């Protein structure tokens, strides 16, 4: 898309004003976006898999940078499509950043089957951690409060829109039993889902943005 911007320069010449018109064409860059047909894959225990193998990045500017976590679960956390070999079902999170520091967040789930004798998917228990939002409804800021059983495993807190796209993502390396995680909001009005997920728990609450 090209937008025509017109500037008027007023020049003082012999005590009189003359008008000069300068036309500038400004090219607007496409928004940073991605397409991913499959955000989940099932493998047998002991197998390896390439994460987000059909991922395509569009728009933005400059060179894309990638970061996956848990970083210790992939062969290279800065690759667009790293390889992983989990021994249990794991959720992976990717941050994509372009040259203007615009960011996208992606979630990819690898479900590990236990050699046909069931699956190694851990039971996700909501009662292990309580999640609350303040204020809710929110405008420019919201604080996510987590309380519950301490754990040394990481917990990921995401805010996603009604299409499932993650718009904000933070992580806690270890959970002491009580944490407050602030988010600054720069998103449209609407209803969003705030999710806290760890290795054995997942809980979601609705966030209303005014």
> What percentage of the chain has pLDDT greater than the value 70?
79
Taking the C-alpha atoms of residue 163 and residue 47, their distance in angstroms, rounded to an integer, is: 31
Query: What was the pLDDT predicted at 141?
Result: 94
What local confidence, expressed as pLDDT, does residue 79 receive?
92
What's the start-to-end Cα distance of the chain, in Å?
31
Domains with residue ranges and CATH for the chain: 33-113 (2.60.40.10), 126-209 (2.60.40.3080)
Which pLDDT score, from 0 to 100, does residue 208 have?
Answer: 92
Using one digit for the tens of pLDDT, what is the confidence trace for 135-150?
A: 999 999 999 999 988 8
* pLDDT given at position 134: 93
Which of 148, 125, 132 is CA-nearest to residue 202? 125
């Amino acid at each position: 898309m090209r937008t025509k911007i017109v500037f008027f320069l007023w020049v003082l010449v012999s005590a009189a004003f003359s008008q000069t018109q300068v036309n500038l064409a400004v090219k607007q860059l496409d928004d940073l976006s991605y397409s991913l047909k499959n955000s989940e894959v099932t493998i047998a225990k002991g197998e390896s898999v390439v994460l987000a193998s059909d991922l395509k990045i569009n728009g933005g500017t400059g060179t894309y940078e990638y970061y996956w976590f848990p970083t210790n679960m992939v062969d290279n956390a800065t690759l667009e499509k790293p390889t992983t070999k989990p021994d249990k079902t794991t959720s992976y999170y990717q941050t994509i950043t372009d040259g203007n520091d615009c960011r996208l967040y992606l979630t990819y789930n690898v479900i590990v089957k236990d050699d046909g004798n069931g699956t190694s998917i851990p039971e996700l228990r909501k009662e292990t951690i309580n999640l609350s939002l303040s204020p809710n409804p929110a405008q420019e800021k919201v604080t996510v409060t987590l309380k519950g059983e301490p754990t040394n495993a990481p917990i990921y807190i995401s805010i996603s829109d009604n299409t499932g796209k993650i718009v904000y993502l933070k992580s806690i390396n270890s959970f002491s039993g009580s944490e407050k995680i602030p988010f600054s909001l720069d998103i449209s009005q609407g209803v969003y889902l705030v999710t806290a997920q760890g290795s054995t728990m997942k809980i979601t609450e609705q966030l209303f943005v005014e």
